[in-house]
Chains A and B, each alone.
Chain A
């Protein structure tokens, strides 16, 4: 199916009233989550995951995808108005966005963030529509060895780029894979790490793990950050940027869109790296770099475009290869599995309604977001005044409803609380949770492809390096791991030598 017919099919799906409603709910909640500091899109998707079990897979994924790219829009609002990023990809927007707000230019900062996000988001979806089908066709030639090596590369990239130390990333990735291996082994029928509990026979419940790790732990972690915040007061006058603002922002939006899209494709990449890279590029290319940090509109336009383009691009590896490039899409992969949909190159062939429906909903969602974020900005500003003390009890209540609603068992609620405490302790001690979740999601697939490859290669491990794509992926993974490990080993050696 060519992209044009695909989009037409997708529009038929996305324009169904129920899907329009879920798309609106997704982008609305995404903006809300982006606006409220302390709750990230991963938490929001985790909380909404149980709500998708009663609807069709396309409808469920349209909702969750809307939360993801909607949060990229909303995240800039808090960065600009209260100097606290609504989500990680908007950290860099604080630098110049908040300075603009302090100088009485909050309106143009919010405006250019929304417009840049719209242009970049739409650009990302257009490219996604064009390249996804050919990429999926190419991926049909992938065998288990290629999938195994690609997953190894993805896990290495995520570990290298995680916010904690390399050792911490190695530990959390390994733990995630082991948790993912729980339950009956599909090839031998042996129960693994079930501790004689029937609840673990089918493996660890995805929703319980993710809601605990992201929902409960997010509340516990945020209790440390204090319960107050200060908002830039005063009415936001003019949202639309001036002609001079447009002149300064045009190329940063174009460059941010392209750079963000490319970085969003990489496993472990995504909005955070894209926004920082865009900021660095704009500062370097500027004739007046000294304005950066003092309220340069390019410092808002570029990064905000980049993180939205990255959010769209991230769907390509998920929808064409079944490999999530970041933790949020890892949760989306979990949602697809819960829905009984097999992610991978056959997704477009076997579930064209789902694939093209989600892509078309992203066009519609981006338009909805522009409307939500420009004329209605005042409402979001008011929401910033909700005290954390009222928000956190509600989040915990939603966690309980979500897990109990899907499992119907108090056992899983205790497990959720346990994962919440584990997540809090891990974050408190400098561990990033992203490698754990990606390890959990990819671990079982990694093992299956490893064992299938060895069956296909008659037990010969050289099978992985004799197939070109697999060999390239493994070589890249090795180079990356070595590049990340060398500084760590040098530091260790330095410690030992000082001791001697």
Chain B
């Protein structure tokens, strides 16, 4: 299944979910809308639009199988399967680990580890330079935000 079609299936499911959840909130009447009416209408519209576009994609693919390159191209709908974004997944994993560590380890230690991990992942800096950058980055930002701007940041292990 192409990325475009998977996207349409997900949008349809989301539209149905919104419609079902908002129906339970109470739709009221057209004269006096309840708390769920607008969201219900939007959920139905989302599901209908995504399903119709999904059907169009399937029809186009069928037609394309019979007559290669006949049917108009749609630049807005990517057809090639999306490559697994390894680098992005790694960055998100590091970010989630940082969030998990933030309160137990504290801002300074957590940020040091976070910056070092991302520098190792994304930048060509040598280890000594990366360590120096991470130490400076976490210490300076802690000082600026905690003492300069009065932002409440977790102290953690260093407290």
Minimal Cβ-Cβ distance residue in A for B133: A390
Q: Say whether A177 contacts B42, CB under 8 Å.
A: yes
Q: Say whether A491 contacts B123, CB under 8 Å.
A: no
Known: A165-B74, A400-B98. A171 touches B32 (CB 8 A): no
B156 within 8 Å of A (CB atoms): no
Q: Say whether B123 contacts A390, CB under 8 Å.
A: yes
Q: Say whether B119 contacts A390, CB under 8 Å.
A: yes
- A446 partner residues in chain B, CB cutoff 8 A: 38
Minimal Cβ-Cβ distance residue in A for B110: A400
Instruction: Kindly state the separation between the CA atoms of A388 and B119 in the bound complex, as whole angstroms.
Output: 10
A289 within 8 Å of B (CB atoms): no
Minimal Cβ-Cβ distance residue in B for A444: B38
Minimal Cβ-Cβ distance residue in A for B14: A175
Q: Say whether A397 contacts B141, CB under 8 Å.
A: yes
Q: Say whether A499 contacts B63, CB under 8 Å.
A: yes
- B14 partner residues in chain A, CB cutoff 8 A: 175
Which chain A residues numbered 378 to 417 have a C-beta less than 8 Å away from chain B? 387-390, 392-394, 396-397, 400-401, 404-405, 408, 410, 413-414, 417
Q: Say whether A494 contacts B137, CB under 8 Å.
A: no
Q: Say whether A404 contacts B118, CB under 8 Å.
A: no
Q: Say whether B102 contacts A494, CB under 8 Å.
A: no
A240 within 8 Å of B (CB atoms): no
Instruction: Kindly state the separation between the CA atoms of A460 and B133 in the bound complex, as whole angstroms.
Output: 64
Minimal Cβ-Cβ distance residue in A for B41: A174
A283 within 8 Å of B (CB atoms): no
Which chain A residues numbered 199 to 255 have a C-beta less than 8 Å away from chain B? 216, 219-220, 223-224, 227
Q: Which of B59, B76, B103, B137 has the most CB of A within 10 A?
A: B76
Q: Which of A178, A417, A450 contacts B42 (CB 8 A)?
A: A178
Q: Say whether A397 contacts B32, CB under 8 Å.
A: no
- B95 partner residues in chain A, CB cutoff 8 A: 216, 396, 400, 417, 420
- B62 partner residues in chain A, CB cutoff 8 A: 499
Q: Which of A167, A187, A223, A414 contacts B91 (CB 8 A)?
A: A223
Q: Which of the segments A18-26, A317-325, A345-353, A424-432 contacts the partner chain? A: A424-432
- B60 partner residues in chain A, CB cutoff 8 A: 495, 499
- Measured between C-beta atoms, what is the minimum distance from A338 to chain B in Å? 16
Q: Which of B36, B59, B102, B133 contacts A192 (CB 8 A)?
A: B36
Q: Say whether B125 contacts A164, CB under 8 Å.
A: no
- B21 partner residues in chain A, CB cutoff 8 A: 193
Q: Say whether B32 contacts A498, CB under 8 Å.
A: no
Q: Say whether A429 contacts B7, CB under 8 Å.
A: yes
Instruction: Kindly state the separation between the CA atoms of A131 and B124 in the bound complex, as whole angstroms.
Output: 53
Minimal Cβ-Cβ distance residue in A for B46: A174
Q: Say whether A165 contacts B38, CB under 8 Å.
A: no
Known: A389-B125, A400-B102. A495 touches B56 (CB 8 A): yes
- B139 partner residues in chain A, CB cutoff 8 A: none
- A459 partner residues in chain B, CB cutoff 8 A: 29-32
Known: A175-B46, A454-B33. A389 touches B76 (CB 8 A): no
Which chain B residues numbered 21 to 58 have a C-beta less than 8 Å away from chain A? 21-22, 25-26, 29-36, 38-39, 42-43, 45-46, 49-50, 52-53, 56
- Measured between C-beta atoms, what is the minimum distance from B90 to chain A in Å? 9
A99 within 8 Å of B (CB atoms): no
Q: Say whether A227 contacts B59, CB under 8 Å.
A: no
Q: Say whether B26 contacts A227, CB under 8 Å.
A: no
Which chain B residues numbered 111 to 140 have a C-beta less than 8 Å away from chain A? 111, 114-115, 118-119, 122-125, 133, 137
Instruction: Kindly state the separation between the CA atoms of A461 and B39 in the bound complex, as whole angstroms.
Output: 18
Q: Which of A192, A430, A450 contacts B22 (CB 8 A)?
A: A192
B72 within 8 Å of A (CB atoms): yes
Minimal Cβ-Cβ distance residue in A for B95: A417
Q: Which of B88, B114, B151 contacts A405 (CB 8 A)?
A: B151
Q: Which of A171, A185, A401 contacts B46 (CB 8 A)?
A: A171
Known: A401-B151, A498-B67. A187 touches B35 (CB 8 A): yes
Q: Say whether B123 contacts A430, CB under 8 Å.
A: no
Identify 9 residue pairs between A and B in the complex whose beta-carbon atoms are under 8 Å apart, listed by A's number.
Answer: A170-B45, A175-B14, A390-B123, A394-B137, A397-B111, A405-B151, A430-B77, A454-B33, A492-B56
Known: A175-B46, A397-B111. 4 other contacts (CB 8 A): A181-B39, A394-B137, A405-B152, A499-B63
